[in-house]
């Protein structure tokens, strides 16, 4: 009973095998399909929980579980530490995804989720943009030019014919370096002022590390009448990116209402002011197609269902790509009733020297 392990090198192999564009396309399509088939009974996704802290450093570590009843359980453990890029040369968001057999608890696969999280968060905005953005959207504005902005842009490019990319970041160096970082994705990227960006964009993606109580990150002024916002940064109680007046006059569509009400833009709204969720949109796309002509906000906090789709895609491409390493992780033997038996199973190993119990008796409390 082995476990398949996906390291950075394995993720590289998988993406090289199909190409990053096709990988993103497949993630978008599969997430779309998962939304259309979504049934909360068969696919329960409890609200994530975790540790949130502000001292000695701002951060959180959360677990995001989802079950396909009787089949698999996917658990992502994800960290968010906004000081990582500056202080530790690490991404803000790091994560690991574990994939279990829901009939035995066996760990089938384990993968780095850092890359997959960036891609699936992009893919969710790709789906939302395809459903909600104006069909002729040509200009996208990115507020926050960090790691998530790359995959936001990439995903939206897969669903709309974007001609110009405007970028703004409170950290000018991040805005300036974006063009180079995204050079493989789009050739027409320009750093813009916040006003220029909000006025000119058909689609706006906010992916910032704005502080708690310090949002919103732009103003509701001179926006296009059909502006669509992918708001992906809010993930903390009190953290918001979108101005309230825009939310009030928009169709605000949560990824997962139980979460967005606590840590997303929906914190700012009463229940009656919140629009259809992403699964409802995908299941009744025709009915909601008029929303493309009016202001819309995708309130994206990140949903475990996205991780389930990402892990399944990785597992599927792994085989033709020759990626992944099988390891004997679990300490088991041919006798499930003897937790020590595996110690003697291999050659040249033993349970080690016997130590008399009486010798140690008085040392326990030492």
Interacting positions 44-73 with its own copies (CB under 8 A): 44, 46, 49-51, 53, 55-57, 59, 61, 63, 65, 67, 69-70, 73
Determine if 187 is a binding residue for its own copies (CB under 8 A).
no
Residue whose CB is less far from its own copies, 166 or 269: 166
CA–CA separation, 264 and 235 (whole Å): 6
Determine if 163 is a binding residue for its own copies (CB under 8 A).
no
Interacting positions 268-307 with its own copies (CB under 8 A): 285
Smallest separation (angstroms) from its own copies to the CB of 312: 18
Could you tell me if 77 and 288 are in contact, meaning their C-beta atoms sit under 8 angstroms apart? no
Determine if 364 is a binding residue for its own copies (CB under 8 A).
yes
For the chain, give the number of residues.
366
CA–CA separation, 175 and 68 (whole Å): 41
Two tokens at 264?
């997303």
Largest CA distance in the chain: 81
Supply the DSSP symbol for 211: P
Tell me the sheet residues that pair with 4: 109, 326
Determine if 37 is a binding residue for its own copies (CB under 8 A).
no
Determine if 322 is a binding residue for its own copies (CB under 8 A).
no
Q: Where are the beta strands (DSSP E) in the chain?
A: 3-6, 49-53, 59-68, 72-80, 93-101, 107-112, 139-143, 164-168, 189-191, 203-206, 228-231, 251-254, 296-299, 325-327
Determine if 224 is a binding residue for its own copies (CB under 8 A).
no
Q: Please identify which residue in 128, 142, 159, 189 interacts with its own copies, judged by CB under 8 A.
A: 159
Smallest separation (angstroms) from its own copies to the CB of 238: 20
Determine if 25 is a binding residue for its own copies (CB under 8 A).
yes
Determine if 138 is a binding residue for its own copies (CB under 8 A).
no
CA–CA separation, 210 and 230 (whole Å): 15
Identify how many contiguous H helices and E strands the chain contains and give both numbers.
Answer: 13, 14
Smallest separation (angstroms) from its own copies to the CB of 102: 7
CA–CA–CA angle 76, 82, 84 (5° rounding)? 90
Helical spans, DSSP H, in 182-302: 194-200, 244-249, 257-263, 278-283
Total residues interacting with its own copies, rule: CB under 8 A: 120
Smallest separation (angstroms) from its own copies to the CB of 224: 21
Determine if 336 is a binding residue for its own copies (CB under 8 A).
yes
Q: Please identify which residue in 41, 161, 213, 272 interacts with its own copies, judged by CB under 8 A.
A: 161
Smallest separation (angstroms) from its own copies to the CB of 268: 27
CA dist 183 → 6, 114, 117, 190, 351 (Å): 28, 21, 21, 11, 57
Residue whose CB is less far from its own copies, 222 or 349: 349
Residue whose CB is less far from its own copies, 95 or 268: 95
Residue whose CB is less far from its own copies, 40 or 353: 353
Determine if 1 is a binding residue for its own copies (CB under 8 A).
yes
CA–CA separation, 247 and 269 (whole Å): 8
Smallest separation (angstroms) from its own copies to the CB of 195: 24
Two tokens at 254?
């949560």
Determine if 77 is a binding residue for its own copies (CB under 8 A).
yes
Smallest separation (angstroms) from its own copies to the CB of 175: 11
Determine if 194 is a binding residue for its own copies (CB under 8 A).
no
Determine if 351 is a binding residue for its own copies (CB under 8 A).
yes
Determine if 28 is a binding residue for its own copies (CB under 8 A).
yes
Two tokens at 318?
């792994």
Interacting positions 226-255 with its own copies (CB under 8 A): none
Interacting positions 90-129 with its own copies (CB under 8 A): 90-96, 98, 100, 102-107, 110, 112, 114-115, 118-119, 126-127
Residue whose CB is less far from its own copies, 116 or 231: 116
Q: What is the CA radius of gyration of the chain?
A: 23
Q: Please identify which residue in 136, 163, 287, 327 interacts with its own copies, judged by CB under 8 A.
A: 327
Could you tell me if 345 and 351 are in contact, meaning their C-beta atoms sit under 8 angstroms apart? no
């Amino acid at each position: 009973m082995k476990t398949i392990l996906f390291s950075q090198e394995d993720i590289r192999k998988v993406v090289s095998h199909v190409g990053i564009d096709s990988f993103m396309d497949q993630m978008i399509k599969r997430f779309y399909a998962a939304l259309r088939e979504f049934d909360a009974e068969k696919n329960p996704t409890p609200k994530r929980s975790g540790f949130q802290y502000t001292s000695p450093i701002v951060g959180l570590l959360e677990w995001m579980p989802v079950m396909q009843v009787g089949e698999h359980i996917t658990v992502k453990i994800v960290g968010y530490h906004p000081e990582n890029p500056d202080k530790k040369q690490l991404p803000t968001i790091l994560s690991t995804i574990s994939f279990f057999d829901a009939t035995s608890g066996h760990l089938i696969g384990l993968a780095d989720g850092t890359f997959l999280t960036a891609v699936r968060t992009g893919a969710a905005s790709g789906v939302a943009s395809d459903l909600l953005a104006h069909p002729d959207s040509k200009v996208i504005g990115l507020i926050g030019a960090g790691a998530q902005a790359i995959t936001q842009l990439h995903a939206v490019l897969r669903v709309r014919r974007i001609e110009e990319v405007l970028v703004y970041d409170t950290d000018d160096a991040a805005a300036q370096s974006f063009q180079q970082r995204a050079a493989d994705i789009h050739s027409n990227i320009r750093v813009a002022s916040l006003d220029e960006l909000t006025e000119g964009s058909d689609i706006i993606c906010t992916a910032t590390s704005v502080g708690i109580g310090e949002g919103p990150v732009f103003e509701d002024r001179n926006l296009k009448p059909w502006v669509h916002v992918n708001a992906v940064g809010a993930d903390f109680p009190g953290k918001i990116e979108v101005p309230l007046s825009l939310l009030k006059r928009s169709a605000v569509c949560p990824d997962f209402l139980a979460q967005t009400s606590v840590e997303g833009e929906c914190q700012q709204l009463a229940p009656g002011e919140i629009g259809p969720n992403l699964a409802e949109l995908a299941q009744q796309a025709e009915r909601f197609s008029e929303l493309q002509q009016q202001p819309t906000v995708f309130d994206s906090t990140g949903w475990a269902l996205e991780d389930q789709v990402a892990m399944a895609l990785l597992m599927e491409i792994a085989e033709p790509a020759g990626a992944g390493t099988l390891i004997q992780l679990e300490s088991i033997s041919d006798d499930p009733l003897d937790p020590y038996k595996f110690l003697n199973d291999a050659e040249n190993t033993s349970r080690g020297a016997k130590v008399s119990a009486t010798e140690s008796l008085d040392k326990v409390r030492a």
